[in-house]
Structure formats: structure tokens, C-alpha cells
Amino acid sequence: MAKPMTKTQLVAALAEEMGSDKKSASAALDAVTSIITKEVSNGGAVTLPGVGKIYCRERPERMVRNPATGEQFKKEADKVVKMTIAKALKDSVNG
């Protein structure tokens, strides 16, 4: 498996794709990240066309087990961030 792209590499690729400098590409990436974070943390969802949908889901209270000791205990309800991958991206990877 290839190494994941770092933020520096992503900013450089974004700047090249936009025909812009790295400073404005970094600002654009930070703005998009900030918008997604605000929306999802407030219970909303964000759809990135061609990539997928990022949303927050609530998990109910449940029993979990500590693998080291085998002890079972109740875990409180919490929220998790999920992402559904768009069909277009799945098709481009598999096809």
C-alpha cells in the first residue's frame, strides 16, 4: 500500500491543479477543512461531489470488553464521524 499523501504534498498538488501559489492553496484547504469540521460537529453532513459524504452518527450506550483483562463494562452513548464513499470514486478505483 502506498504512503498517504501529506498535507504539504496535498497543498502542492492543489496549487498546481489550481494554477495558483501554495499559500492560497493552503488557505483554501484550511477553509474547506474548517467548514467541514463546523458542519459535522453541529450534527450536519457535507457532501463532496465525486468523493463522498461526511456525517456524524450517534452510537447508543453499549457493553464493551477490555481485551487485556476480559472485564466487561458499560460504555456511554457517543458520536462518531462516518464517511460514505461516492460511487464515482469507487468505480474509478476498481475500473
Give 5-24 pLDDT, tens digit per residue. 999 999 999 999 999 999 99
The three-class DSSP label of residue 36 is helix
Question: Which domain range does residue 81 map to?
Answer: 43-64+72-95
Interval 59-82: pLDDT, tens = 999 999 999 999 999 999 999 999
CB-based contact 85:53 (threshold 8 Å): no
Query: Same domain for 57 and 90?
Result: yes
Query: Same domain for 36 and 51?
Result: no
Query: Same domain for 23 and 58?
Result: no
> How many domains does the chain divide into?
2
95 — pLDDT class (breaks 50, 70, 90)? confident
Query: Same domain for 38 and 23?
Result: yes
Query: Same domain for 77 and 34?
Result: no
In one-letter notation, the amino acid at residue 22 is K
pTM, entire model: 0.78
1, pLDDT greater than 90: no
Nearest Cα to 89, choosing from 39, 28, 48, 54? Answer: 48
